Amino acid sequence: MASALCCISSRKARSYTSRPILWVRAKAPTRDLSTTCTRSFHAASTCLQHRSRQGQSLAETPALLYSIRCASTGGTPGVLGIRREGKNKWERRAPVTPQHVKALVGQGLKVIVQPSARRAFPDDEYCEAGALIQEDLSDCAAILGVKEVPPEQLLPDRTWCIFSHTIKAQPAGLPLLDAALEKKVRLVDYECITESGRRGDRRLVGFGSFAGYAGAISFLRGLGERLLALGFSTPLLHLGSAFMYPSLEEARRAVAAAGDAIRKTGLPRELCPFTVVIAGNGKAARGALDIFQLLPHEMLEPAELAGLCSRTVRTDRIYIAVATAEDMVCRRDGARFDKAAYYARPEDHMPIFHRTVLPYTTVLVSAMYWEERFPRLVTHEDLQRHAVSGQNKLVGICDITCDIDGPVPTRQMTSIEQPFHIFNPLTENVSRNLDDPGLLFHAVDHLPSELPREASQHFGDKVLEFLPSLAAARAPQAPGQGDSATLPPAIRGAIITEGGELTPPFRYIQELRADQKKRAVKAQSESFPLERGPAPRRPLPLSELTARRVHATSARAWGCRLQHFSSMKEGASGAPSSGSRSILVLGAGFVCRPLVEYLLRRPENRLVVASLRQSDLNVAVGGLGPRVRPELVDVASASGNVAATLEALVKESDLVVSLLPAMLHVGIAELAIRHQKAMVTTSYVSAEMEALDSPARDAGVLILNEVGLDPGIDHMSAMKMINAARDDGGRIVGFSSVCGGLPAPEAAGNPLGYKFSWSPRGVLVASAAAARFKRAGRLHEVNGHDLLASAERVSFSSLTFDALPNRDSTVFAELYGLADAPSFFRGTLRYPGFCDRVLALARLGLLEQSSTTSLRLAADVAGPTSCREWFSRLLGVASSERASLEAALESRLAGLGQEGARLGLEFVAWLGLLGDGPLPPDAKVDSPIDVTVSLLQRSETAYQPGERDFVAMRHELTLERADGAFELRSATLLAYGIPFGATAMSRTVGTTAAICSQLVLDEPRRFGAGVQRPLTPKWYEPALLALESEGISLEESSQLLQEPSAAGVGQPLPASVGLAAARPV
């Protein structure tokens, strides 16, 4: 290859090198680059325009034209760029070393390295390896860095490989993500390069072990200083941070020397046994373990620590335990721990580390992978309880993973130059003074940069094999184009953005951003309360109460290790306040835990949760602490003992929350009235419940109903819209409200587009319920046989649904004060296709609930039968041959139209009714709906681990304004479940019920007595505001309509729902 002289001649190059122009010989094609050191296409274009204005010939600027061409076309294939790191002065790493560059050049790649006098490898070494040293990277098709890139420095239309810090929608990384989308960058994140290309698989590229090495070395330095502040001089005092040593080997020798001193002189007896617990077993954990094992040590299992601390031990060593997931959590149902089950369903597990390991730990090293769906290893409240109770062995926490409020309660990051702070869990104060009371924290988020040469060599070794393919072609200009499909799977799975869009595996980031936006609204509402009614009283954290109690307490006794929390204990016992409240929660279903967790935010609340099954109680309240007492009670039992127990529980409570099946609410309400206890339910008010209004008023008891999602949030948000429209002086001519609980779009993969959280029977039966609604001044009725046929297609928020009339809408027109409105409609949402397929089942008799004698008799005679034979008998088809059966099906389904018949035929085949497989063993052969239910209970119709559910709600109100114009006002709620966490349905229902319960507890006299719904401002104003602070809110919008016909006057969304099957009355 021809050699060329390369010049670092731009002003930026000189500013970074702080030395004269450097002429170097590089093995690269000859090109005059002295005039092409431009940072972007825009800079080059500006230069070109300037030359044109000066009368210079553009033909005389080939290098500049070449730069513009490169900048605008995504660089030159085969050219790889190495970016200079500039995040901070300590970032001296490089993604590849000169050794790796030499290998790349040997494979025919051209490598351009931005100059840096700070990098751990001098520019000369890269040059000698064959790299071109220059500022301008516009010729590069792919550019490598380590840390995130300032958005303005992101060259468009390139492949960029960095640690982007965007995959969790980290706020600091979002500007970079937006720039990558705008500039059509193919963004590859090293963190996502895994063996198979799937998230969660074994990572192939990273600095993990070096984070462990550097974190452990530097923490030992801080530990020596902290122990000195507590009154103990130890050999650790002479250690430095990792960056203070010229190499990792030198640092290891220094730690080993400290270990020799400990072996000879021992550690202070007051500190022993000196235990180190390393949480995690990945690369970072193994790196930290390698360093601690340089000290004299003995390895133990975490379960052995309690016994160790109860006996006399040696002082000439430390005791190390490695804690894995099995040491951190246990199953709520008491079954044996299984790691795969834990990762699939962490919500089925409860944390135990804070009870079984933390009390016996001197130093905790957090080096574990963690996501929000997992229980925390240690919480701030755990540290508080241990401090108050005297379980004060813990001296410090080394947070290698550096997640703010992640598995450990890290409140602030530290830095390489200021690597330590003291966190006082009782006051929540953070201090840089290591003499202050509290726990030593070390949380540096770029630890491997303390060992830049070794870390870079290791990283480059791992990433090298992928670089030729990444640089081989330009980044695609549109999704699905270019060479991405030919890249190795490990790289394909790490591409976050491409062609201006998020790739499918990372589209969840948009939803995380939406959640962040809602949390920001919450923070703003707390700082600037809306002057529109009383805001709910925010739950007061236990930490704030504790801090108030201990604020004036002396800290003089912190000089001794054994008393370093004792000075804070006085008055901080955590005992309940004199205003303690008892809440009885009946039922431990899926909405229970969000409700209980919300109510527990208020330290004065104590809860009793009663349920029929222990397994439900384990899931609902396991691990929530001593302020929750589970009780096994069969509320539906007629036993006298059970009734006495239940009555005693009601009598002892201040509030009863019934999450039981609706038919049991009335009996509970009668008990509540008898003992003058307020009651809250999420169910509709039945006629029997309505009849209790007068007795409740006479007893001065509030019975609040319909405070879930639907009913609940729908009522409150609807009344807010309606009353606002009335306040504006207009006439409401139409109102509609539709709502549905569905699988998230990516999880709706079966033919129904629906998944069942419990038996499908309830959903199927509801699909045949009669309905009534008003349209253009006329009352329309839909009989149950035709309900599914009345569905109409509706769209909002880029989503499409089928809307079904939901029972008798006119009842709610009366409640909402809209009895005179020309149109009023309430509906249920399903994904397109659901109604067509279930309608086919209904037309084929598969939803019949009554027993079919002929089927029972045939089963008695023939014995076990196949699905197809049973189906033939149901339809009365003589032959069970598939061809005969399909012909009969086409005839039966002809009334649904060609498309409806086709969907119905495909669906019954999907259910297995045309196959030779046996009927499900639990199916009642004489009950068509029971057979259908059994066939629907399969993996495809059940939520799988990690799948999300989805709640959609939409109100539309058509308003005739005082000026004669028509206005369409809408409000939309879209809420998604959390993967491996709370469902959207449980969160919206449980949180709403909890908020209303807390309102009742806080101001019982404000809301009066009787059987109520949350339809008035005194309910919906504080409740909606509190829901908004939890990230649950409806987005409102409005638009003016030019003429009444366009306004859909009397025909709100959906514009023609039910007209196909509705019968005017």
One-character DSSP codes across 375-429 = PPSS-HHHHHHHHHHT-----EEEESS--TTSSS---S-B-SSS-EEEEETTTTE
Calpha distance 318→341 (Å, rounded): 34
Calpha distance 456→359 (Å, rounded): 38
Angle between helices 380-389 and 542-550 (to 10 degrees): 40
**Strand stretches in 17-126, DSSP E:** 23-26, 76-82, 110-113
Q: What pLDDT does residue 433 have?
A: 92
**What single string gives the DSSP state of each residue in 942-991?**
SPPTT--EEEEEEEEEEEE-TTS-EEEEEEEEEEEPPTTS--HHHHHHHH
Kindly give the residue spans of alpha helices, DSSP state H, lying in 608-664.
614-621, 640-652
Provide the token pair at 971: 């409000």
Calpha distance 303→361 (Å, rounded): 12
Provide the token pair at 737: 């409200």
Q: What pLDDT does residue 549 have?
A: 29
Residue 767 CA: distances (Å) to CA of 62, 185, 761, 784, 790: 72, 48, 10, 7, 11
Angle between helices 853-862 and 867-875 (to 10 degrees): 140
H or E element that contains 731: strand 731-743
- Class of residue 985 by CB neighbours under 10 A (exposed 0-12, middle 13-18, buried 19+): buried
Q: What pLDDT does residue 638 have?
A: 59
Calpha distance 45→68 (Å, rounded): 7
Q: What pLDDT does residue 857 have?
A: 66
Provide the token pair at 54: 């000066």
Kindly give the residue spans of alpha helices, DSSP state H, lying in 266-304.
283-292
Residue 756 CA: distances (Å) to CA of 662, 727, 910: 19, 42, 17
* 533: three-class secondary structure by DSSP: coil
Closest CA to 316 of 260, 356, 255, 245: 260
Calpha distance 977→508 (Å, rounded): 12
| Mean pLDDT, the chain, integer | 82
DSSP-derived letter for residue 712 is: B
Calpha distance 191→206 (Å, rounded): 7
Q: What pLDDT does residue 391 have?
A: 63
CB of 925 closer than 8 Å to CB of 855: yes
Calpha distance 923→855 (Å, rounded): 12
CB of 465 closer than 8 Å to CB of 259: no
**What radius of gyration do the chain's Cα atoms show?**
34
Q: What pLDDT does residue 684 have?
A: 93
Calpha distance 979→374 (Å, rounded): 11
Long-range contacts for 87-92 (Cβ within 8 Å, ≥24 apart)? 87/147, 87/148, 87/446, 88/446, 89/118, 90/243, 90/416, 90/417, 90/446, 90/449, 90/450, 91/146, 91/147, 91/446, 91/449, 92/118, 92/119, 92/120, 92/449, 92/452
**Which of the residues are catalytic?**
710
Using DSSP bridges, classify how beta strands 628-632 and 420-424 pair: parallel, antiparallel or unpaired: unpaired
Provide the token pair at 643: 């009734």
Residue 188: CB atoms within 10 Å: 26
Positions in the chain whose pLDDT score sits under 50: 1-71, 524-578, 1044-1065
Calpha distance 922→914 (Å, rounded): 19
